[in-house]
Structures are given as structure tokens and as C-alpha cells.
Structure 1
Amino acid sequence: MRKHVIAMLAVSLLCASSPVLAKDLAGDMDVLKGAYRTVMKTSDATELKKALTDMRAAAVDSKSKTPDSLDGKAPDSPEVKDYQAGLDTLIGQIDASMKLAQAGDIAGAKAEAKKFADTRDANHKKFR
């Protein structure tokens, strides 16, 4: 009987946490926004690397989703490809910033991270 209760509890916890694991595009964008703020304000290398890691994960996850403005577009349409190219640009910038952070160049990593805003602004004009 006890094993059944534990199994049921485990299943219910797993089911309750699954919506948290499957973020929507807005959730990914919120992660990008919050982590970007952290990147720009921190001087701690560990915190900077974690924020960049979080940003990269959210950007990669965002590639599998499309914004509302692209609903109904084919996955191989020029608009969707342009959206994904914008995310690829951001991921490349995050990687460049992370490389600098791992080398101990916090100021350089933050300078590279300033480019994130330009990428965000350009893509928000197209797809938001």
C-alpha cells in the first residue's frame, strides 16, 4: 500500500511540474530579458556565466517555437527562417560573450553582450 501511495505521489508531482518544463515563447523571452539584466549589472564571473548559460538555453528553445506574427507560416518559409537566423545571431553573440567570460574578461564579455540589445531590437521590429 505504501509503495502505491509513493508511486501516485511521484506521478502527480511529475505531472504538476511538466508545464514548468515546457515553456512557451513568452517564457523563453522572459528568461532572456531577466538574464540580460543580470549580465549587464553583475561583476561576478560565476553569475555572469550562469546568466549567459540561461540565455543560451532560452534562445535555443525559442528556435523550436514561432511568434504569433508567424502563426500559419510553413517551417521552411522565408519569414520563419529569418526568425531562426535572428536567434542564431543571438546564440553566436552569447557564445562569444561566454568565451570572454570563461577567459576571465568580464568587461569584454559585458561589452560583447551590449550587442544583444541591437539584435533584440531588430528582431522585435520584424516579429513582435
Structure 2
Amino acid sequence: MTQQPSFGTYSSARVASGIVFTSGKVGLTDDGVRPEAFADEVRAAIADLERTLVEHGASLASLVQVQCILSDMANFDEFNAVYTECIPAPVPPRFTHGGALVQNFRFEIVGIAEVESA
């Protein structure tokens, strides 16, 4: 498994009371490169979110809330199409907003999920 590089002091995720809280996940390929295509950057960030959730006993299907940050809201429709293809139903409540991101990333995703029963 490839771990994303750290851009600060934080934990990748933390479990409390059966809930997984993740840090923001940005889109890097397994070799640590940001994809050129915006849609691929979104896919890579969601894939990293999924890996983190699975490591902590959850999954994309157990998400209960998601926050998405786009550096340029003009990319919203493209982001939404990729998000729709990647996040299973029932989709969690989502808060999407625009803002500057570290290292010139164009997308970041934060998830909160329930730990799944064994």
C-alpha cells in the first residue's frame, strides 16, 4: 500500500465511538504524482479515501458524511460525474465548496464513516 506524503502534522484517520474520521485526501498516483487530468485526480483522492477507510474497518459504502473541496468550482460538473461513479448508494450527505489547496492540488475529500460490523 502506498501512503500519501504528509503535508503537515495530522493523522490519516482516527476511530472514535465506532466512527472513522479521515483527514483530507488528495489525488496522487501510487508513484506519488498528481495526475494531469482533473477527473483522474478526483479518482485518485477517492481511492486513497477508500484505502484509509478499509484500513480502519469501514468502506465507501459506510460513509455517513463527506466534504469535498475544489480549487476551482468551474470543475464542479466533472467532479460530480466522477463522484457519482465512485461513491455507492445510498450516497452520504455532502458538503462541497471551493478553496485554495496545498501543493496546487485541485481536489480534496474528507470522509466520516461508520466502522462496519465483523
TM-score normalised according to structure 2 size: 0.32
Higher strand share: 2
Higher RCO (C-alpha under 8 Å, 6+ residues apart): 2
TM-score normalised according to structure 1 size: 0.30
- Report which of the two structures shows the higher radius of gyration computed on alpha carbons: 1
Higher helix share: 1
